[in-house]
Amino acid sequence: MRRLTADGAAVAFTYGASAAEADKLVSELSAEGAKVVAIQADSADPAQVSNAVEQAVAELGGLDVLVNNAGVAVISPIDDFPQEQFDRLVAVNIGGVFAAIRSAVAHLGEGARIINIGSINADRVPEPGLSAYAMTKGAVASLTRGLARELGPRGITVNNVQPGPIDTDMNPDQGEFAEAAKGVVALGRYGNTSDIAAVVSFLAGPESGYVTGANWNVDGGFTA
């Protein structure tokens, strides 16, 4: 989001529980001259997702780019996978993406962009317990390709960014699985969120107008 505001975009984003953190981010970016709106929404609830899209359109005066970045991860063997965790995994990682796009398309015109944030685990599952998570990200990749066909005649591009090991709260570069992951990555290290932001910035901009239906692996050679 910081990259998009630096590019000159007015941005609305959703958050789950931490209103204080969301307000802090809005204050920081607003102080830099950006227009930023924070909207509380549970990505597992289609009605809340739809309301968030409508609120964003009302606050910003329109919608040109949709970035689907919400996601959860659950690592568990299939024979011991709690049903409620599976249901939320699917609701957020697939249902939330679908709900956001379904609500947004009414507001997107010629030249608009839809950018999904998937995972390299859609293509490669390096460890046991990731099957369900990989399934949800594979669904996002398939949805991206299908919608590229569906929305192409309207001049809307749809792309999917598939991060590999990236240093985040969900997957820190000093975490439990970090050393094993670094051993698989061709560059031998984790990436940074700025690596993902750079690709999102490109896909949101004018130079990506002939790019659609693509899965962009930003993985340091994880799949090489």
Q: What is the pLDDT of residue 77?
A: 96
Q: pLDDT: is 210 or 184 the higher one? A: 210
Q: Is 133 a catalytic residue?
A: yes
Q: What CA–CA distance (Å, rounded) separates 153 from 118?
A: 24
Mean of pLDDT over the chain: 96
Q: What is the dihedral of CA 94, 99, 105, 106, to 10 degrees?
A: 170
Walk me through the domains of the chain, giving residue ranges and CATH numbers.
46-218 (3.40.50.720)
Residue percentage of the chain with pLDDT more than 90: 90
As a whole number, mean pLDDT of residues 118-129 equals 94
Q: What is the pLDDT of residue 9?
A: 98
Q: What CA–CA distance (Å, rounded) separates 166 from 113?
A: 24
As a whole number, mean pLDDT of residues 5-33 equals 96
**Are 171 and 177 spatial neighbours (Cβ–Cβ below 8 Å)?**
yes
pLDDT in tens, 150-182: 999 999 999 999 999 999 887 888 877 788 888
136-145 residues labelled b (16+ CB within 10 A) or e (exposed) = bbbbbbebbb
Q: Is the pLDDT of residue 111 over 80?
A: yes
pLDDT in tens, 137-150: 999 999 999 999 99
Q: What is the pLDDT of residue 126?
A: 86
Q: What is the pLDDT of residue 67?
A: 99
Instruction: Kindly report the backbone phi and psi dihedral angles of residue 57, in degrees, each rounded to the nearest multiple of 5, phi listed first.
Output: -60, -45
As a whole number, mean pLDDT of residues 42-64 equals 98
Q: What is the pLDDT of residue 178?
A: 85
Task: State the catalytic residue, choosing from 15, 133, 190, 210.
Answer: 133
